[in-house]
């Protein structure tokens, strides 16, 4: 090869190498342009709200590359776009990936903000609130708190809010939301005290959470209206028992109490209104000025009349007492509406408290049976909540439909062993392993099955039931005396008490007959209620709730009345047959 040829070859090689370098540099520049352009395109789509298309374009820019300056931002906006489309798991995974790969990135606070929103949206309230409360950026914290308030205000369970408050004791949003929930669902004195403390600790507007009654005032004579379904136009003048006998019994008990109060210097003017079991007639009665000016109303006795009565009570600020219902929903939200009886919630709580004080039984297994109606469910689950809180192990929570009541026998009395006489001696749930059975039902089909199954087991299982079981004779009194059956009995009166004897004597003298012997005696309930309310009016004035909030009311025949910061009685006695007599064994 000549020198000329060699020079020519070197020149060609130089040209080739330079061309290759130019191509490489051009390609490198093109990559730079593509990353930037793809990011800008994706960002534009994001700003236009085209989040799905934006995600596709951001995806191209996410991979790590030394030449890619947009990976972190693309990852972030990809996560936000996913959140906007409710792809919460995709968004959360990407945000967590950013935190792992770029722990010191300048936008970590924003990453945490969007991660918190994802957690709140997917129900992980505790972790979401924890992240929001750890934010340091003031602007982000303000926005995050607005979002937090939106999610927390949707929580209606007081216990969840209490747990949040324990973790964040200085959080105003959580405290305000808990106060709001408590104000609508005060089920005990403890709830009211908790609400009062929240209002004081966080300087909340008291009027926003507690509707105070007007200032009370006193009168020489107090007018009390009875709004009852007397149905006078259908009454038979014969001495035979009437279809609405319970209404007449209660009315006569109230009349007798009025006489007693008069002797004590307390003057009550009674006005009776007959609803005739008619909504139209009730509306007519509630429009009367004389009723609007009543100092206190007793009624209704029928559930279907309650909505109209509560609206009347709240609008006209007239205290109304329902004498028979245990349903807190009947008066919820009305500061002038009261239940004379304990609520199902309170009965459930107090039954759990009774069981928890029995050290031996509370350490054993517990079963709960309840009917398919709302009343039974509320009673059962309030017992369950408090029992489990006390450490009681509940192995079965069984809803029972009437047609499936044999399931109770299957659970409790399915034999696994037999003695020499082929009688059951052991069961699927071993003998003596059950401490107690709580039966949240007044349906004889359900509670008689429980009693019968426990009788078959021949162990000493405690059965907790209701005083209503004594009424219809479905269970022989001998079984109550022989077996370990305890009843919650708010209407209990000792048949051996002097007060009961005096009441009977006065009733016979006034009306020429004896009151009903049922455990839930309507004449007796009317008498006791009118005495409590009449004395309350005399002692505390028209708005007697102010006084009722301060102290427990002294009973006459019954066990006790505690209306402190509550719309219902919170005293629940428990009774049991002992030596042939029904006696109170505990009161809570």
What pLDDT does 243 receive?
76
pLDDT score for 10: 35
- The pTM (predicted TM-score) of the whole model is 0.79
Q: Does the pLDDT at position 15 exceed 60?
A: no
Q: CA–CA separation, 195 vs 206, rounded Å? A: 10
pLDDT for the residue numbered 409: 97
Q: Is the pLDDT of residue 24 over 60?
A: no
Nearest CA to 153 out of 197, 184, 131 is that of 184
Domain boundaries, the chain: 38-209, 214-342+494-568, 344-488
pLDDT tier for residue 240 given thresholds of 50, 70 and 90: low
The pLDDT, as a whole number, for residue 16 is 40
Interacting residues of 182 by C-beta distance below 8 A, sequence separation 6+? 158, 191, 194, 195, 198, 209
Give me the pLDDT at residue 5, please: 52
Asked if domains 38-209 and 344-488 share a fold, the reply is no
Q: Which of 331-335, 436-440, 561-565 has the highest mean pLDDT?
A: 436-440
d(CA 370, CA 379): 8
The answer as to CATH 3.40.50.2300 being correct for domain 344-488 is yes
Q: What is the pLDDT of residue 27?
A: 42
Span 362-410, pLDDT tens digits: 999 999 999 999 999 999 999 999 999 999 999 999 999 999 999 999 9
pLDDT at 20: 43
For the chain, what percent of residues have pLDDT higher than 70? 92
* 323 or 233, which is more confident: 323
Angstrom distance (rounded) from CA 353 to CA 500: 29
Q: Sorting pLDDT into bands at 50, 70 and 90, what band is 521? A: confident
Using the predicted structure, report yes or no on whether residue 9 has a pLDDT greater than 50: no
Average pLDDT over residues 224-238: 86
CATH number for 214-342+494-568 (one of 3.40.50.720, 3.30.420.40, 3.30.160.110, 3.40.50.2300): it is 3.40.50.2300
pLDDT at residue 515 in the model: 82
SS3 at position 91: helix
pLDDT given for residue 193 in this prediction:
87
Cα angle for residues 368, 373, 378 (degrees, 5° grid): 55
Cα–Cα distance for residue pair 436/461, rounded to 1 Å: 6
* Beta strands 424-427 and 415-418, pairing class: antiparallel
Q: Is the dihedral of CA 384, 388, 390, 392 positive or negative?
A: positive
Q: Does domain 38-209 have CATH number 1.25.40.10?
A: yes
Average pLDDT, the chain: 91
């Amino acid at each position: 090869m000549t020198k000329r040829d060699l020079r020519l070859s070197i020149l060609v090689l130089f040209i080739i190498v330079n061309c290759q370098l130019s191509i490489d540099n051009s390609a490198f520049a093109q990559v730079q342009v593509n990353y930037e352009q793809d990011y800008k395109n994706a960002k534009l789509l994001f700003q236009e709200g085209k989040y799905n298309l934006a995600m596709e374009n951001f995806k191209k820019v996410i991979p790590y590359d030394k030449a890619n300056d947009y990976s972190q931002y693309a990852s972030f906006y990809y996560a936000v776009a996913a959140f906007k489309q409710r792809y919460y798991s995709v968004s959360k995974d990407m945000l967590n990936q950013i935190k792992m790969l770029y722990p010191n990135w300048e936008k970590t606070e924003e990453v945490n903000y969007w991660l918190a929103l994802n957690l709140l949206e997917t129900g992980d309230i505790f972790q979401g609130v924890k992240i929001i409360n750890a934010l340091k950026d003031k602007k982000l914290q303000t926005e995050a708190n607005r979002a937090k308030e939106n999610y927390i205000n949707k929580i209606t369970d007081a216990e969840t809010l209490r747990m949040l408050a324990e973790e964040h004791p200085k959080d105003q949003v959580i405290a305000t939301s808990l106060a709001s929930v408590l104000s609508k669902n005060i089920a005990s004195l403890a709830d009211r005290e908790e609400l009062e403390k929240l209002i004081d600790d966080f300087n909340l507007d008291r009027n926003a959470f507690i509707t105070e009654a007007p200032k009370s005032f006193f009168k020489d004579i107090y007018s009390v209206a009875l709004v009852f379904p007397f149905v006078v136009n259908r009454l038979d003048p014969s001495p035979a028992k009437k279809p609405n006998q319970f209404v007449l019994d209660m009315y006569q008990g109230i009349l007798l109490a009025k006489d007693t109060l008069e002797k004590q210097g307390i003057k009550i003017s009674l006005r009776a209104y007959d609803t005739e079991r008619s909504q139209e007639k009730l509306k007519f009665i509630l429009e009367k000025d004389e009723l609007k000016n009543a100092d206190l109303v007793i009624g209704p006795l029928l559930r279907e009349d309650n909505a109209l009565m509560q609206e009347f009570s709240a609008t006209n600020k007239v205290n109304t007492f329902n004498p028979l219902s245990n349903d807190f929903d009947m008066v919820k939200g009305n500061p002038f509406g009261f239940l004379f009886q304990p609520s199902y919630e309170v009965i459930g709580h107090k039954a759990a408290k009774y069981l928890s004080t029995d050290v031996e039984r509370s350490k054993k297994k517990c079963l709960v049976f309840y009917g398919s109606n709302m009343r039974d469910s509320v009673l059962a689950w309030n017992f369950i909540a408090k029992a489990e809180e006390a450490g009681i192990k509940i192995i079965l929570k069984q809803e029972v439909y009437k047609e499936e009541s044999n399931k109770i026998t299957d659970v409790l009395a399915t034999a696994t062993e037999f003695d020499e006489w082929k009688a059951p001696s052991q069961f699927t749930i071993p003998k003596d392993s059950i401490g107690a059975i709580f039966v949240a039902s007044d349906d004889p089909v359900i509670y008689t099955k429980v009693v019968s199954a426990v009788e078959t087991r021949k162990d000493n299982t405690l059965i907790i039931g209701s005083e209503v079981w004594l009424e219809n004779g479905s269970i022989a009194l001998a079984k109550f005396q022989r077996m370990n059956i305890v009843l919650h009995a708010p209407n209990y009166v000792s048949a051996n008490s002097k007060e009961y004897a005096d009441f009977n004597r006065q009733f016979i003298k006034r009306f020429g007959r004896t009151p009903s012997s049922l455990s839930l005696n309507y004449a007796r309930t009317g008498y006791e209620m009118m005495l409590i309310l009449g004395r309350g009016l005399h002692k505390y004035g028209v708005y007697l709730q102010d006084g009722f909030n301060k102290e427990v009311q002294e009973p006459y025949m019954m066990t006790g009345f505690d209306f402190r910061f509550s719309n219902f009685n919170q005293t629940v006695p428990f009774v049991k047959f002992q030596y042939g007599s029904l006696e109170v064994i505990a009161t809570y």
